[in-house]
């Protein structure tokens, strides 16, 4: 069953890597909007993980969420991902408030993130597994344009290297364990959560592409 999940994540990764938005020359205003979308995501990620972590019972999933949470909040690191994201946004000349304003790119993803308190334990595992697996591809598709724009890309670099290698692997192990105890129904829920996260990630590029065509 985990093979089917791996295949679907692979297909979603290919959709992101081959997305036409990645081949577009993006305007500075769209780059800023993408960065602010990441800021909104970054600010909400810590409370989202915290509420998820407190709701799950599976020890491995709980441990994986806890480790992810510590990483986002910078408990064991010099700087939190939230600070890295703020520096990324500020390097583009923006002053992000702690309560982020909604962006056109993040509308669908925000709506999806907003319903995460309703997710079941296996759905949480799928949601985080797909999110962490696909963020590196998303950031890879735009990183060169931010580098050329002179942005501080440490936030993007950190996620390209850490999310897929560490965070996603923790969630994959937790998912395998949930499937071994919960069987087919648990797998179905993991797949559901993963598909929601994949749609949310791809929606950012879909909207970015539409907006770039209109400029
Ligand atoms: Fe992060």
Convert the pLDDT of each residue in 17-40 to its tens digit: 999 999 889 999 999 999 999 999
Residues 174-181, mean pLDDT to the nearest whole number: 92
- Cα 91 to middle of ligand 1, angstroms: 18
Domain 2-213 class, CATH top level: mainly alpha
Number of separate helices (H) and strands (E) present in the chain: 9, 0
pTM, entire model: 0.93
- Cα 58 to middle of ligand 1, angstroms: 23
Which of 107-121, 138-152, 157-171 shows the lowest mean pLDDT across its residues? Answer: 157-171
What is the C-alpha separation between 86 and 161, in angstroms, rounded? 19
Residues 55-63, mean pLDDT to the nearest whole number: 92
- Cα 214 to middle of ligand 1, angstroms: 31
The pair of three-digit structure tokens given for residue 81, joined into one six-digit string: 């991902």
- Cα 72 to middle of ligand 1, angstroms: 5
Confidence label for 196 from pLDDT (cuts 50, 70 and 90): very high
pLDDT of residue 50: 95
- Cα 165 to middle of ligand 1, angstroms: 13
pLDDT of residue 164: 62
- Cα 94 to middle of ligand 1, angstroms: 20
What is the crossing angle of helices 28-55 and 107-114, to 10°?
Answer: 10
pLDDT of residue 23: 86
What is the C-alpha separation between 26 and 181, in angstroms, rounded? 47
Question: Would you kindly state where each structural domain of the chain is located, as residue ranges?
Answer: 2-213
- Say if residue 64's pLDDT is above 90: no
Whether 39 and 96 have beta carbons less than 8 Å apart is answered as: yes
- Cα 27 to middle of ligand 1, angstroms: 25
Question: 154-189 burial by CB neighbour count: b if 16+ within 10 A, else e?
Answer: ebbebbbebbbeebbebbbbbbebbbeebeeebbeb
What is the C-alpha separation between 117 and 213, in angstroms, rounded? 35
- The CA-CA-CA angle for residues 70, 71, 75, to 5°, reads 50
pLDDT of residue 129: 93
């Amino acid at each position: 069953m985990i093979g089917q999940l791996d295949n679907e994540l692979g297909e979603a990764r290919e959709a992101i890597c081959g997305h036409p938005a990645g081949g577009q020359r993006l305007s500075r205003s769209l780059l800023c909007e993408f960065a602010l979308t990441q800021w909104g995501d970054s600010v909400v990620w810590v409370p989202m993980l915290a509420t998820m972590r407190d709701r799950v019972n599976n020890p491995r999933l709980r441990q994986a969420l806890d480790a992810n949470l510590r990483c986002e909040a910078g408990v064991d690191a010099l700087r939190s991902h939230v600070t890295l994201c703020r520096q990324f946004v500020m390097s583009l000349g923006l002053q992000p408030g702690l309560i982020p304003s909604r962006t056109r790119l993040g509308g669908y993803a925000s709506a999806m993130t907003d319903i995460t308190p309703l997710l079941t334990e296996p759905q949480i595992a799928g949601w985080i597994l797909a999110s962490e697996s696909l963020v590196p591809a998303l950031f890879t598709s735009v990183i060169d344009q931010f580098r050329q724009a002179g942005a501080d890309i440490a936030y993007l670099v950190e996620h390209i290297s850490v999310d897929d290698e560490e965070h996603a692997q923790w969630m994959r192990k937790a998912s395998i364990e949930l499937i071994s105890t919960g069987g087919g129904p648990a797998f179905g829920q993991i797949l559901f959560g993963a598909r929601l996260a994949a749609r949310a990630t791809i929606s950012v590029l879909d909207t970015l592409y539409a907006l770039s065509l209109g400029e």
